[in-house]
Structure 1
Amino acid sequence: MTALVDTNAAPAGLARRFAAFLYEGVLLFGVVFFAGFLYSVLTRQQHALEGRTGMAVSLFTVLGLYFVGFWTRSGQTLAMKTWHLRVTDAAGRPLGWGRALLRYCLSWLWFLPALISVWALGLHGGGAIIGSLLAGIAGYLLIARLHPQRQFLHDALCGSRVITQLPVRS
C-alpha cells in the first residue's frame, strides 16, 4: 500500500528545487564517471571519440535507472532527500514507472533547447557551449515562474509535482 502525501501541500519553492538540481549534479558526477569508466572498459574503448553514441545511450540509460528507480521507490533522489523534496503525482501518490519514465524523458527539456542551439549554430568552444546551457537553464527557470504553481514544464506536462516534505519532529 502506498502512503499518500498531503494533496494540498504547497509546491516547493524554485530556489529550493534549483539548489537540489545543483546538488544532484554534484552527486551524479560520480555516477556518470563510474558508468562511463565501466562502459569504456567493457567496450575496450581506446579513444574518447570512439563509441560516443554508445556511451551517450548507456549514460542516458544509467541516469534513467537512477531517477526512475528513486522516484518510484520513495519519491526522492539523494539530493531531494537532503533538500526535503518529494515528487508525487497530482493525487499525492508516489510516481508509477510509466509516469516516472515520462518525467525523466521530459526533464531533458532543461537542456534540449541549449543542445539544439549548440548543434544548429555549430558551436565548438567550451565557453559558448556552457553559456548556451546556462542560458537554457535560466530560461527554463523563468518559464516555471509563469506557471501558477511555479511548476517546471516537465512536471506540468506529465502530471507530477515537487513538494516540500520536512521531517516530522517528535
Structure 2
Amino acid sequence: MQRQFSQLDSVWPAALARRLGAMLYDGFLVAGIWFVVTVVHVAFARFVLGLEAQQVGQGPLQVASLRLLLVLSAMAFFIYSWTRGGMTLGMQAWRLRVQTPDGFSISVMQSLIRCLTAWVSLAALGLGYWWVLFDGERRSWPDIVSGTRTVVLPKRNK
C-alpha cells in the first residue's frame, strides 16, 4: 500500500552531486551485501555440494549462479528500501527520497523498473545519471522511465 509523504511543499529536485554521494554510500552497503552473498555461495559449494577447494568457483554454472545472486541481492536491497520508506541508507545520509510526482511512496513495480533502468544508465557510462544536468526537472533515466522523482528533504529543526 502506498503511503503519502509529508513535507511535500518543502522538497526540491535532487542535483547530480547529491545523488552521486548517496550512490557512493550505497555502493559500500551493496559491497558488504555482496561479500556476505559470496561467502554463503562459496560455503554452499564447499560444504553442501561437497566440492574440493580447488573446484569452488570453477565452471559456468557456479559463475552464473553467483552473478545472478549478486544482481538479485542488490536489486532486493534497493527495492526493499525504496518501497519501505522511499530511501536507502545512503539516501538518508544525503537527505534524498524517491517518490511519485504527487508525493506517494513508490510501488514494487516502479522500484523494479528503477533498478533495471539504473543498470542500463550505469552501463552507458553513467549517461542516465548525467542526464540530470540536462533535464529541466532534474530527472535521471530511472526517474523518467519509472515515473518517479528523487527529491531533497529539508533539514530537520533541532
Q: Give me the TM-score of the superposition, normalised by structure 1.
A: 0.78
Query: Segments of 4+ in structure 1 off by > 4 A?
Result: none
Judged with a 3 Å threshold, the aligned counterparts in structure 2 of structure 1 residues 142 and 2 are, in CA distance, closer, same or farther, namely closer
What is the match of residue 38 of structure 1?
40
Unaligned runs of 5+ in 1: 114-135
Percent identical among aligned pairs is 24
1:152 aligns with 2:140: yes
1:100 aligns with 2:111: yes
Point out the structure with max Rg over C-alpha.
Answer: 2
Residue 49 of structure 1 and its aligned partner are, at CA, apart by 4.3
Q: Provide the C-alpha distance between the structure 2 equivalents of 1:57 and 1:7, rounded to a whole number of angstroms.
A: 41
Q: Provide the C-alpha distance between the structure 1 equivalents of 2:153 and 2:11, rounded to a whole number of angstroms.
A: 8
Judged with a 3 Å threshold, the aligned counterparts in structure 2 of structure 1 residues 35 and 144 are, in CA distance, closer, same or farther, namely same
**Aligned 8 A contact 2:101 2:148 in 1:** yes
Q: Which moved more, 1:103-112 or 1:55-64?
A: 103-112
What is the match of residue 4 of structure 2?
3
1:47-69 per-position Cα deviation (integer Å, ceiling 9, x unaligned) = 33431111111111111111000
1:26-82 per-position Cα deviation (integer Å, ceiling 9, x unaligned) = 222111111111112123373334311111111111111110001000111010011
1:81 aligns with 2:92: yes
What is the match of residue 56 of structure 2?
47
Unaligned runs of 5+ in 2: none
In the alignment, residue 47 of structure 1 is paired with which amino acid?
V
Q: Provide the C-alpha distance between the structure 1 equivalents of 2:94 and 2:88, rounded to a whole number of angstroms.
A: 10
**Aligned 8 A contact 1:7 1:90 in 2:** no
**Aligned 8 A contact 1:85 1:163 in 2:** yes
Residue 111 of structure 1 and its aligned partner are, at CA, apart by 2.6
SS of residue paired to 2:13: coil
Q: Provide the C-alpha distance between the structure 1 equivalents of 2:113 and 2:4, rounded to a whole number of angstroms.
A: 22
SS of residue paired to 2:115: helix
RMSD: 2.0
Aligned length: 147
